[in-house]
Amino acid sequence: MRCRDCTSACGPSYCTKFVGPHSRFQMTRQTFPCLFFIALLALPAGGCHDSGSNRGSADAAPNLGAPAPTPDPTAIAGEAVPVEIAALRTGRVEAVLHFSANVDAERKVSVRARAVGLVEELPVEEGVRVGSGAVLLRLQGDEQRSAVERVSAQRERQRKELERQRRLHEQDLIPEETIDTADYNLEQLTLELREATRQQAYTTVAAPIAGTIAQRLVNVGDLVTINQVLFEIVDFDSLVAQIFVPDREARKLRLGQQARIGVAGDAASPPTPGKVARIAPVVDPKSGTVKVTVALGRAAALRPGTYIDVELVLDAHEAAVLLPKRAIIYENDQTYVYRLLADDSVERLHVEPLLEDREHIEPAAGFRAGDRIVLAGQAGLKPGVRVRSIRQPDAAATPEAAS
């Protein structure tokens, strides 16, 4: 390398003539071997020095680009993992099936008109309870009454004519065919009178069943036509709910089995009792369910069309050990729970459910009242790990109070 400051061959980066750093360098073919030789001489010393220095700096300086590892609380020897602990208690547990349905009435009827006429009288109103045969409505029946009177008079005259002709026949004054014709005419008039009387009866509309007037669809003065709906009557003693139970669960049901009925969204109201009235003998092949009819009886809160929750109690145990579902760990279709030992370490136990409700499980075996289990914080635990409770035991054997 030749320095342009002094035009002499001096050091690679320092001018020996002007005693200062080079302002510019000029690389030539003659100076390149010298520079390469100097680099070879400096490599062993620098390499050894840099190697040690780099190791030291690598150990001292963290890798800022890599994420910090999550500390494992169980990996620190002697440190107890904070968890929430509860003592098991006994109580009632029920195996319950939950369904939703709409209330319906088995005995309900649409009362229709069977005659034409103007509404003359409406003695009932919506909400009124009526008995079977009670008068609901009367139509103007002038035309029907006139028809009955006319046919009745014709029949009476024909009856007298038949008696007169029979007397004449006894005297051999008229042939037998005349008597037969008069008798036939009397029978026809009798049938006409019966039909006219029935049409007159249709002007009075009566309740076909006992129940409550749910709807009145006509007013006084309306012209009613044949087959027009006049009233809706519902027997509130025949309220039912139809639910569709999976076949595997329907096999556990029986007639008369108790049910609890609640209005959907109204948890404050007490449940209404019901019972299984009918179980369909066939399974719907499309849904795999069985239709079950639950009789509700009369309840003030239940009306046809009300959306309700139905609970069927399959089984119940009064003094069962109650294992909170919050404590359960699910792993490979198995259920486990951590139980606290005397040395504050935990063991993992398999749970075989016997009965369960929305909040608790009754284990088949292996637990008893007073056992302390991990209620929260069990996700990272392993058998044998020491734990400490963030709450103190409660007298009611519920989750423990804060220490």
Digit-coded pLDDT (tens) for 194-228: 999 999 999 999 999 999 999 999 999 999 999 99
pLDDT at residue 180 tops 60:
yes
Could you tell me how far CA 145 lies from the centroid of its own chain? Answer: 59
d(CA 105, CA 237): 8
pLDDT band at 103 (very low <50, low <70, confident <90, very high): very high
In this prediction, residue 12 carries a pLDDT of 52
* 373-389: pLDDT as tens digits: 888 877 777 888 888 87
**pLDDT tens digit sequence for 308-353:** 999 888 878 888 888 888 888 888 888 888 888 888 888 888 888 8
pLDDT of residue 391: 66
| pLDDT band, residue 300 (cuts 50/70/90) | low
Q: Cβ neighbours of residue 234 under 8 Å, at least 6 residues apart?
A: 105, 107, 108, 211, 212, 214, 304
Residue 119 clears pLDDT 80, i.e. is over it? yes
Q: How many CB atoms lie within 10 A of CB 35?
A: 11
261 vs 242: CA distance, rounded Å: 12
Q: What is the mean pLDDT of the chain?
A: 79
Kindly state the percentage of the chain with pLDDT values over 90. 35
Reported as a pLDDT band with limits 50, 70 and 90, residue 10 is low
Find out whether 127 and 232 touch, Cβ atoms under 8 Å. Answer: no
Determine the Cα angle at 70 with ends 69 and 74, to 5°.
125
Domains of the chain: 2-60 (no CATH), 81-88+328-402 (2.40.420.20), 97-106+235-317 (2.40.30.170), 115-234 (2.40.50.100)
Does 25 have pLDDT greater than 50?
Answer: no
pTM over 0.95: no
What per-residue confidence (pLDDT) applies to 362?
83
Distance CA 308, CA 242 (A): 11
Given a cut of 50, is residue 397 above it in pLDDT?
A: no
